[in-house]
A and B are shown apart, each in its own frame.
Chain A
Amino acid sequence: MTTRLLLRSIILGALILPLGALHAQASRQRVDTSFTFDKGGSVNLGLVSGEIRVLTGTGNEIRILATIERGRLETSFSRGHVSIEARSVNSRMGATRYELTVPAGTRVTASAVSGEILVRGTGAEVEAHTVSGEIRVEDANGAVELESVSGDIILTKASGRIDLSTVSGEVDLTDVSGDVGAESVSGSIIVRRSRLRAFRTETVSGDVSYDGTFSADGDYRLNTHSGDVMLTIPANGNAALELETWSGNIASDFPLTLQPGQDVGRRNRRMQFNIGTGGGRVSAETFSGNITIRRAMARGTPE
């Protein structure tokens, strides 16, 4: 940055800033700073191409390192809110990188076109959008909303109200609890070691698999056109299953007892039966995909 530009931004800064306040707004190509950040603060990050990494520290400081190869960063910092956006200069914008360490409890919103997004350890709300970058979130709580077009979405250790959407990326959830809504066109949706109370999922050709517990007042609705559905239910689990497929196959480790009047021979197959004492409603519907119900071993899961 030239001296003149630096001087100009200092002067501008002085005009804008009340003395001693942290309300800083600036425009530059590199930011390297840290300051005290309020608990429960929020961070809003946007770039076109590059990488966003948000990690969590133990103190009450926020540390920010942001760079852009061509173009400029527009930043706005205050004790409770940080925002960093990438802007082109003379229609040019280069690779951008944001690396933040934030206090636990910070709410994060991150958007990228072809950038990878990582948010780890915040234990708070996370919202992330990409077109082709991968989204990886570990340890989130509350409202979680992750969307991509072709990027994979990997969520580990989260609880709350979770909404996931992709076109062709893979959606991978491990150790998640709460309510999950997940949709894709061709990406698979895989849920492992989780305790969901509600799970609504819709794909066109992506496979869906859920391996976890089923809550007695839970509501599980899986729908796919041609993807396969696999449900792994604990051996001593309870669930009220409703399975329907137009031309796929239904297979189950648990005994299938048809309802009176049901006929497996018809073109479409529909089965309704309880596992254990029944309970949470589990509905799986496909057009041509297969539906498989597996019984989990007492410890761990069958692989």
Chain B
Amino acid sequence: MTEHDITDESHRAACTECAAEWTELDAISAAARALPQLTPSRDLWSGIDARLAGNANTSSSALARAERRWFRSPTLRMAAAATLLVVASSAVTWRVATDRNDTAPSDPANGVTDSAAAVLAALTEAPAGSPRYSQASYESDFAAMDVEIRAMQSLLNERRAELDPNTIAVLEKSLMLIDQAISESRSALLNDPASQFLAAQLARSYSTKLTLLRSTATMPMGS
């Protein structure tokens, strides 16, 4: 029996058996090419976003940890304020309980991380030779963060009754410290608007503030 080399075109021209088989194999290739795109079962972006902040920005990686922090323990997960957040698979979807919908984008956590970490990354990690992040851009990012901060602060107010007074005291004192840092950096920046150093410091303080506010939203009741 002669060797049938199905992959050899000239052989297929002479051998109907192999030609037929080849047609079948070809149909499989064609079917493979036409396979539809598959979609993930959940939105993967928030997990990616949390990691993009990377190692340099510890505040934003703390965001990823804040999301996981209280959900390690089923006890604490159940104690978390159910009205304030909805857990969707492994990501935390935030619902900010404010009246004004225009200040509560559907995924405020990600919008905020975006701004704070993007500013920070652009100010501290821009690849050499790339155009610098412009002041106009970061001003508008800080404005967006202010909106978010206000929404998160009203969230903290709503949780006052559920959290331990000592914890509230620690959180409020810390927020005051951060606000002081923000105000000092801002004043300095007014006098020296070109300073990338100051802008980066300010971005860090914002990031820290947002992370702190966010973690208070997920803190278990009775904390």
Contact = CB atoms under 8 A, between A and B. Distances in A.
A167 B174 contact: yes
Contacts of A74: 74
A177 B166 CA distance: 34
Contacts of B219: 131, 149
A200 B205 contact: no
Contact of A185 (B58, B178, B201): B178
A111 B218 CA distance: 14
Interface residues on B, range: 35 or more
Contacts of B166: 132, 150
Contact of B184 (A127, A131, A287): A287
Contacts of A113: 76, 79, 220, 222-223
A196 B89 CA distance: 36
B198 interface: yes
A170 interface: no
A285 B219 CA distance: 31
A86 B171 contact: no
Interchain residue pairs A-B with the least CB separation, the first 10 = A46-B73, A111-B73, A225-B181, A46-B75, A185-B174, A85-B75, A131-B223, A150-B170, A183-B58, A202-B58
Contacts of A131: 164, 167, 219-220, 223
Contact of A285 (B59, B62, B201): B201
Contact of A111 (B72, B164, B192): B72
Interface of A: 44-49, 74, 85-87, 109, 111, 113-114, 127, 129, 131-132, 145, 147, 149-150, 163, 165, 167-168, 181-183, 185-186, 200-202, 204-205, 221, 223, 225-226, 244, 246-247, 267-268, 285, 287-288
Q: Considering residues A132, A204, A268, which has the most beta carbons from chain B within 10 angstroms of its beta carbon?
A: A204
Contacts of B75: 46-48, 85-87, 111
Interface of B: 55-56, 58-59, 61-62, 65, 69-70, 72-76, 78-79, 164, 166-167, 170-171, 173-174, 177-178, 181, 184-185, 188, 192, 195, 197-198, 201, 204-205, 208, 212, 215, 219-220, 222-223
Contact of A48 (B56, B62, B204, B220): B220
Contact of B208 (A49, A145, A185, A244): A185
A149 B223 contact: yes
Nearest to A113: B223
Nearest to A206: B177
17 contacts: A45-B73, A48-B76, A48-B79, A48-B222, A74-B74, A86-B75, A113-B79, A113-B222, A113-B223, A132-B166, A185-B208, A204-B177, A223-B201, A225-B181, A246-B197, A247-B188, A287-B184
B222 to A, nearest CB: 6
A220 B182 CA distance: 24
A168 B201 contact: no
B197 A285 contact: yes
A31 to B, nearest CB: 15
Contacts of A247: 188
A201 B204 CA distance: 12
Contacts of A114: 164, 223
Contacts of A185: 174, 177-178, 208, 212
A227 to B, nearest CB: 10
A138 to B, nearest CB: 21
B74 A186 contact: no
A181 B58 contact: yes
A202 B204 contact: yes
Given A85-B74, A183-B59, A202-B58, A167 B212 contact: yes
